[in-house]
A and B are shown apart, each in its own frame.
Chain A
Amino acid sequence: MAANTDILMGYFDSLLTTTAVVEDDPRKAIVSDLLASAATDSPASVYAPALSDTIDQGRRMITLHAPARMISRAGNRATALQLISVASGLQPGRLKRQVLTCCAGVLDV
């Protein structure tokens, strides 16, 4: 019974799922632009000392917590967009780059 169910679930999933990607989705263009503008680097002289000792210490002091509840896909996207806005105000550096990379992953751009 369980084996049959697995076979049927695969069948239903294939029939009810579309893998087509809309290549010129305007929403993606907006997010790409947003990421690009947030990632615009300042001159190299500003970029170099970005990962300071202070930031490095701070990273080690932060306790990581598992989220108390699952966040929906829409929630993840909203959070990522908010993070991009915050990151755009950060000095260029590793922290900013990592935040933007994570956001890009969540937004799939």
Chain B
Amino acid sequence: MKIWSISNQKGGVGKTTSVVSLGGLLADQGHRVLLVDLDPHGSLTSYFGQDPDGLERSLYHLFFEQRWRNVDYIRDTLKPTSLDNVSMLPATTSLATLERQVSGQDGMGLVLARTLAQLWDDYDYALLDTPPILGVLLVNALAACQQLVIPTQTEHLALKGLERMVHTLKMVMKSQKRELPYTIVPTLFDRRTSASLTSLKEMRRTYQESLWDEAIPVDTRLRDASHEGVFPHQLDAETRGVRAYRHLLAQLNSGDR
């Protein structure tokens, strides 16, 4: 199983859209894919028609009573998506209380890694949709993944979020004593605005080695797909957003270590 975390400590940069787009394209290639929602807002969970307020089981419940050890429990927690070969580990709003509940317990940053280890042969890829805040859930994602994708909106304020994310990543790598490859992905790029052009130029200047050399454009078809609850390529396989994600996927897979 390959585990990619799609993370940024800033919200609204296209994390969930990236998870869904990349996951759908991987499934289209015939891979078995698991999408994991770590965000208490449950955007990914809602995307596929599940209610983050109403679910009885979610990622939250795996943090207690060592349920992550029970592979049957984990499998029963998964939900279907609009594709047969893609499943989802949903979020519930109770995840927002996790920080307080597990405070002071050692090793709580490793629960997701252990959960995914139980599903190792069930899936080819796991894509993690993380919350836009530094806490136990983001640390779980960083500890579990083998590769990090950092979607970054091409606008000035997003650059500060990117700086914080890279700083956090370096600290987690130091704590774990391992290197984690990461790719910065410019998103919501609009070539007609100077804000997009200027911030992309700044990203290229500062993060040359880790920056993907293309950008995900603004594409209303991606939003339409979320409204329909389907993967973007199911709605329109050749829309420019899907084409850009297809290029990104090729880049991520070629960069696999």
Interface residues of A (CB under 8 A from B): 5, 8-9, 12-20
Query: In the complex, how many residue pairs between chain A and chain B have their CB atoms under 8 Å apart?
Result: 41
- CB A15 to nearest CB in B, in angstroms, measures 3
State whether B108 touches A15 (Cβ < 8 A): yes
Chain B interface, >50% SS class: helix
- Asked whether B24 is an interface residue with its Cβ less than 8 Å from the other chain, the reply is no
Residue of chain A at shortest CB distance from B111: A15
| A82 CA to B223 CA, complexed, in Å | 64
B241 within 8 A of A: no
A-B contact pairs, 29 of them (CB 8 A): A8-B134, A8-B171, A9-B171, A9-B175, A12-B109, A12-B139, A12-B171, A12-B172, A13-B175, A14-B106, A15-B107, A15-B109, A15-B110, A15-B139, A15-B140, A15-B143, A16-B107, A16-B109, A16-B110, A16-B139, A16-B172, A16-B175, A16-B176, A18-B106, A18-B107, A18-B110, A19-B107, A20-B106, A20-B107
Q: Hey, which chain A residues are within 8 Å of B168, CB to CB?
A: 8
Q: Which residues of A contact B136 (CB under 8 A)?
A: 15
Please give me the residue from chain B that is nearest to A17 by CB atom.
B106
B257 within 8 A of A: no
Say yes or no for B100: interface residue by CB 8 A criterion. Answer: no
Q: Does B192 contact A (CB under 8 A)?
A: no
Within 8 A of A (CB), among B166-209: 168, 171-172, 174-176
- Known contacts A12-B139, A15-B106; can you find 9 more A-B pairs with CB under 8 A? A9-B174, A12-B109, A15-B109, A16-B107, A17-B106, A17-B107, A18-B106, A20-B106, A20-B107
Question: Which residues on the B side are within 8 Å of A17 (C-beta)?
Answer: 106-107
Chain B residues in 8 Å Cβ range of A5: 171
Cα A24 to Cα B176 with chains together (Å): 26
Give the complex CA separation of A14 and B171 in angstroms.
13
Shortest Cβ distance from A19 into B: residue: B106
In Å, the complex CA distance between A9 and B139 comes to 12
| Complex interface: chain B residues within 8 A of A16 (CB) | 107, 109-110, 139, 143, 172, 175-176
Interface residues of B in 130-159 (CB under 8 A from A): 134, 136, 139-140, 143
What is the bound-complex CA distance between A17 and B139, given in angstroms? 12
Nearest neighbor of A9 in chain B, beta-carbon distance: B171
**Measured CA separation A19–B104 after assembly (Å):** 12
CA distance A15 to B168 in the complex (A): 14
**Using Cβ atoms and an 8 Å threshold, which residues of chain A touch B108?**
15
> Which chain A positions have C-beta within 8 A of B172?
12, 16
In whole angstroms, how far apart are the Cα atoms of A12 and B176 in the complex? 9
**Most B CB atoms within 10 A — which of A8, A14, A15?**
A15
| Distance, CA A20 to CA B114, complexed state (A) | 15
- Chain A residues positioned under 8 Å from B139 (CB to CB): 12, 15-16
Contacts of B174 in A (CB 8 A): 9
